[in-house]
Amino acid sequence: MERDTSELFEEFKELTASEFFRRNKQMLGFSGKIRSLTIVFHELITNSLDACEEVGILPDITIELKRLGKDHYLLTHADNGPGIPEEFITKVYCQMFAGSKFRNIQSRGQQGLGCSGCVLLSQMTTGQPVKIRSRYKDGNQLKGIEMTVKLDVKKNTGIILDRQEFETDRTGSGIEIEFKDVSYSMSEQGAYEYIRRTVIGNPHAKIVFKDPTGRKYTFDRATDKIPPLPKEVLPHPKGVTADDIIYLCKSTNKKRFKNLLMDSLSRVSASKIKEIEEATGLDMNKRPKSITWKEAESVVKQFDQMK
Amino acid sequence: MERDTSELFEEFKELTASEFFRRNKQMLGFSGKIRSLTIVFHELITNSLDACEEVGILPDITIELKRLGKDHYLLTHADNGPGIPEEFITKVYCQMFAGSKFRNIQSRGQQGLGCSGCVLLSQMTTGQPVKIRSRYKDGNQLKGIEMTVKLDVKKNTGIILDRQEFETDRTGSGIEIEFKDVSYSMSEQGAYEYIRRTVIGNPHAKIVFKDPTGRKYTFDRATDKIPPLPKEVLPHPKGVTADDIIYLCKSTNKKRFKNLLMDSLSRVSASKIKEIEEATGLDMNKRPKSITWKEAESVVKQFDQMK
């Protein structure tokens, strides 16, 4: 009963990131009814905290969870952050592997899976589109956009079903999103406890939460001091691999290897460069694109020996 | 110190699956030196076992692990499977989310991450390309191809550095691949123990393993009986979600909803269809593309009540 090789490969398929995570939603943390809902809270709240932090706003977050039926909820989330420019709305909410968290700051969220992961879970369990509201500054103007969108799993993009502009006097973003097969709980792993701990860790944040029984919890901020925006901390040389250096070399437009190192890594001074040059015999004025793996490795080795 | 929204989104990036997993290699199981190497063994061996099973060949797998330095190894793997047609070689080894394991069979491997994940880890730790050998039937001819390839992380594709044809009198595929920052161990989590357990679970497989000390272990097959190729088991109706039904409806070229259900799911007979029709009031002759979420949900509900 031997099958032909060509037959075997007829079934060869390429998946988009959305299709992949549709099949492997546990990789996004979506396992178990209670935990899945907590992950949703986590993704939405961390997104709000990060966005507010980026622009120096004291976060004001509201979340309402309405029970629509057994294991069936409508979640309404809104923040006072900077909002999302219209052209990025579907990228943020409907595209896996797209995200803005690629500066080297200590950010809370994951790498571009968060909001899109929530929309995917919603769609997989309810088939419903989500409603997104974004209020943002476009130059000196404030713009308000409300969109109804679905995630096109096969293309890993968003489909806009409806789009309305509205007037606004502030910034912020928010989402109305339905879930089934999730469960709200007061347990350790539940969504309430997640919020309670989040406000402890973020004393400058205010979160208002209306639970499925209609009870409203206000977690007021403990301080009005906006935490300083984390500086973009450059990677420490001792944490850098040869692969990282090659990756930097391929992406840069710097003309000299030494400038790339000094500008991309922390604590690499001109005297360190000289030290490396002497120890490795490598011409630090070389073009980054010409750096070989061996040369990158020799630099990493020198970094490791740095005091 | 308020930043502008537009400034915030300047840093917005879209990643390929390869770039994503380059940053999140622990999601592929690559965490810890011992475990990382075991995962590599797992991916290569399960791929061989699955490929042999698909075409009804008794698996003959050889793996050699040469120590090149501290935490630095060269792995050579070969099997007697059906091989990989040339046009699929870079897809199998250099493209995340591409794979042939999408029939509903009980296969051992993961969903299209396996081999490409190994190549990614190799490249991230050594910067070296990998050498792939494939011997396969092209119609009535046997073809042998040897390729040296790299994974283009930014594009999630393979780059062919070298390509040679050679003559062969059999089929099979194999890879020569280098790793650093991994470690061979006899411990529970180590690669040796992984092989030992794999042959217990697969008594029809023969695995010859040469370890880094040069010792050769031959795990002979305990039976010559090829396990029957698992039938493509259709999903059981009770395990199907509304989202699955909508997904099926979108992908099918069937003209009637009832035929889609009968052909895509197990144990759905004409009489079951009638039962569902009566209980839901849904016209089962509808075009699949016109099925709504609510209708899919009503069918799932009926499935749940099936005996």
Given A19, A82, A124, which is nearest B8 (Cβ)? A82
- Specify the fold of A237-305: Helicase, Ruva Protein; domain 3 (1.10.8)
Q: Does B305 touch chain A (CB under 8 A)?
A: no
- pLDDT on residue A101: 53
Mean pLDDT of B291-300: 95
Per the prediction, chain A carries an average pLDDT of 90
- pLDDT on residue B108: 59
Among A8-12, A121-125, A162-166, B196-200, whose mean pLDDT is lowest?
A: A8-12
The answer to whether residues B206 and B60 touch, using CB atoms and an 8 Å cutoff, is yes
pLDDT at B306 over 90: no
Mean pLDDT of A87-107: 75
Render pLDDT for A162-172 as a digit per residue (tens, 0 to 9). Answer: 999 999 999 99
Closest among B38, B44, B73, B74 to B61, alpha carbons compared: B44
User: CA of A192, closest CA in chain B: separation in Å?
Assistant: 28
| C-alpha span between B54 and B31 (Å, rounded) | 31
Which tops the pLDDT comparison, A285 or B103?
A285
- pLDDT on residue A102: 43
Among A2-11, A29-38, A209-218, whose mean pLDDT is lowest?
A: A2-11
- pLDDT on residue A30: 92
| C-alpha span between A173 and A88 (Å, rounded) | 12
pLDDT at B1 over 50: no
Q: Does A51 touch chain B (CB under 8 A)?
A: yes
Q: B235-260 in b/e burial notation, b at 16+ Cβ within 10 A?
A: eebeebbbbbbbbbbeebebebbbeb
| C-alpha span between B227 and A268 (Å, rounded) | 60
CA atoms within 13 A on the CB side of A1: 11
Which residues 168-197 of B have a C-beta within 8 angstroms of A?
171
Q: Is A267 helix (H, G, I), strand (E, B) or coil?
A: coil
Q: Does B114 touch chain A (CB under 8 A)?
A: no
Task: Say whether A237-305 and A17-219 share the same fold.
Answer: no
Instruction: List the single residue in A with minimal CA-CA distance to B122.
Output: A243
Q: Does A136 touch chain B (CB under 8 A)?
A: yes
User: CA of A246, closest CA in chain B: separation in Å?
Assistant: 9
Mean pLDDT of A276-284: 94
Mean pLDDT of A112-128: 91
Render pLDDT for A44-65 as a digit per residue (tens, 0 to 9). Answer: 999 999 889 888 999 999 999 9
Give the number of A-B residue pairs with CB atoms closer than 8 Å.
155
Asked whether the beta carbons of residue A97 and residue B27 sit closer than 8 angstroms, the reply is no
What is the side-by-side strand order in the sheet with B72-78? B157-166, B141-152, B130-138, B172-180, B72-78, B60-69, B206-210, B216-219
> Could you tell me which CATH class the domain B17-219 is placed in?
alpha beta
pLDDT at B227 over 70: yes
Asked whether the beta carbons of residue B20 and residue A15 sit closer than 8 angstroms, the reply is no
Which tops the pLDDT comparison, B87 or B231?
B87
How is chain B split into domains, by residue range?
17-219, 237-305
The answer to whether residues B34 and B190 touch, using CB atoms and an 8 Å cutoff, is yes
Mean pLDDT of B259-280: 93
Q: Tell me, rounded to whole angstroms, the distance of Cα B39 from its chain centroid.
A: 13
- pLDDT on residue A97: 85
Which tops the pLDDT comparison, A90 or B227?
A90
Asked whether the beta carbons of residue A293 and residue B127 sit closer than 8 angstroms, the reply is yes
- pLDDT on residue A36: 96
Q: Is A112 helix (H, G, I), strand (E, B) or coil?
A: coil
Render pLDDT for B23-50 as a digit per residue (tens, 0 to 9). Answer: 888 888 899 999 999 999 999 999 999 8
Chain A residues touching residue B102 (CB < 8 angstroms)? 11, 13
DSSP bridge pairs for B145: B134, B165
Render pLDDT for B40-81 as a digit per residue (tens, 0 to 9). Answer: 999 999 999 988 988 889 999 999 999 999 999 999 999 999
> pLDDT exceeding 90 applies to what percent of chain B?
74
- pLDDT on residue A156: 93
A103: tokens are 């500066």
- pLDDT on residue B102: 43
Instruction: List the single residue in B with minimal CA-CA distance to A2.
Output: B55
pLDDT at A1 over 50: no
| C-alpha span between B51 and A11 (Å, rounded) | 13
Among A144-158, A233-247, A275-289, whose mean pLDDT is lowest?
A: A233-247
Which tops the pLDDT comparison, A77 or A51?
A77
The CA dihedral of B95, B96, B100, B105, to the nearest 10 degrees, is 170
Beta strands (DSSP E) in chain B are 13-14, 60-69, 72-78, 98-99, 130-138, 141-152, 157-166, 172-180, 206-210, 216-219
pLDDT at A188 over 80: yes
Q: Is B192 helix (H, G, I), strand (E, B) or coil?
A: helix
Asked whether the beta carbons of residue B15 and residue A98 sit closer than 8 angstroms, the reply is yes
